[in-house]
Amino acid sequence: MDLENLTKQYIDGAWRRGSSDKTLTVRDPFNGEEIGAFRIATVDDLDVAFRAAQAAQPGWEAMSAYQRRDVFEKAAAIVGRRFDEIADLIRREVGGTALKAAFEIGLVIDALKEASHTGFQIHGSIIPSPVPETENFVFRKALGVVGVISPFNFPFFLGLKPVVAALSTGNGVVLKPHEETPITGGTLMAQIFEEAGLPAGVFNVVVTEISEIGDAFLEHPVPRAHVFTGSAPVGRHVGEVCARHFKKAILELGGNSAFIVLEDADIDYAVESAVFSRFTHQGQICMSANRLLVHRDVAEEFRAKFVAKVSSLRVGDPADPSTIVGPLINNREVQNLQKVVDGAIADGATALYRGETVDNVLGPIVLGNVRTSDAVAQGELFGPVILFLEFGSDDEAIAMANDTVYGLSGAVHTRDLMRGMNVAKRLETGMVHVNDSTISDEPIVPFGGEKNSGLGRLSGQSTIDELTTQQWISVNHGQTRYPY
């Protein structure tokens, strides 16, 4: 893959270097090899990007849904055609395994295909008026310009998803990708949309660092909304800044998902689903299962089979197609997780399994003898670490699952589907999957969390609700008689 343009800013339809004298170097998290380097963007570069989106947005919104559809369909075809090179880039920049790359690229293609239809679903309405000879029209309009801040874990999909949501509803976009993954999370999208025929200026990518721009991205007067995907502490700050400036904040934040196994579950299937829920992409997914809640009647059987399955996972180089657990994004994350695990063990937890750690590859870890009140069970474990807890009744499982400030995803395994549904309804999460993984994202189903896991929803009708505004226009066909 030619990285010449992919290591530049994409502003107003042009590839250019950032104005700062600072350089951001992108490295392979597995072997540390340099992939490319950016001259980062300054506040002045941000301003140019936002102004470009502001100038181009009205023309984009004025295009018919049929014209916008063509752009998204072409983009989906480009991604499909470039599957292998994109998968290789995901491996090199993100540390993604072959399984993870295929999963992520598939989600991107689905998102683009769905975006091609969104414009046809934006409908207004006519509402009766109590005033004689008057009609009330309610129109849906784009917000204008939307800022998007993407994460490092699934940068291609979690960057593109809000971008296409905003574009498909007629908005202009400025994207700031995470500094660890600025190519798959940013400039790669710009290259794809440029080839697909998106008008210049509608979509812009600025690669920069907070030390350079501070809150300028959030505070800029042009964007009317920001979509942020990342940690809860940073999301809280994003929400506070947006509120001060009367901007909408759509926040997709962390999780502490519970994977509940009732005593009548298919144990072998539940084990397979739980392993996928935790160890896909090294557990670096907001929806990953952090806590295994298993009924004590089947706890011994489940624990033995689960540990056996975890111990069989191939760990190491993501270039090996058989690898399941590759590197974390950087060594700082490895060290942080090791400290959390060591602290939990010091507090009484037991290591049911602890894989070997080599450089940025943290081997899988299963901790038992954990209580929901323990510090390790209260936070998000963004890596290949999972907790094993036992319960005795549905009520106890529900109380344990809800004993967290997070509420993003969850899973319930049982042969009694109505029982599973009833348990799921009582979980304080935005999404629950009965007899499936905690990891799921479908293009027309509302995606989002409760509590500290975020605000707002995207996908399907939720995209239209969040990223358009409503305007009331009344038309008086006669003349109103005023009281004075």
On whether the CB atoms of residues 115 and 74 are closer than 8 A, the answer is no
Selected catalytic residue, list 194, 252, 390, 466: 252
What's the Cα-to-Cα distance from 158 to each of 112, 143, 161, 245, 252, rounded to whole Å?
A: 12, 21, 5, 25, 10
Query: What is the C-alpha to C-alpha distance for residues 347 and 155, in angstroms, rounded to an integer?
Result: 35
Q: Does residue 252 have an active-site annotation? A: yes
State how far Cα 430 lies from the chain centre.
Answer: 14
Q: Residue 148 CB: number of other CB atoms within 10 A?
A: 29
Query: What is the C-alpha to C-alpha distance for residues 290 and 386, in angstroms, rounded to an integer?
Result: 5
Query: What is the C-alpha to C-alpha distance for residues 250 and 238, in angstroms, rounded to an integer?
Result: 9
| 309-314: Cβ within 8 A, 24+ apart | 309/271, 309/272, 309/275, 310/275, 310/279, 310/353, 310/364, 310/366, 311/353, 311/355, 311/364, 313/275, 313/279, 313/364
- 187: which DSSP letter? I
Q: Which residues on neighbouring strands pair with residue 393, listed in sequence order?
A: none
Query: What is the C-alpha to C-alpha distance for residues 433 and 412, in angstroms, rounded to an integer?
Result: 6
Selected catalytic residue, list 286, 333, 390, 466: 286
Q: Residue 280 CB: number of other CB atoms within 10 A?
A: 23
- Contacts (Cβ under 8 Å, ≥6 apart) of 135: 126, 129, 474, 475, 477
Active site residues: 252, 286
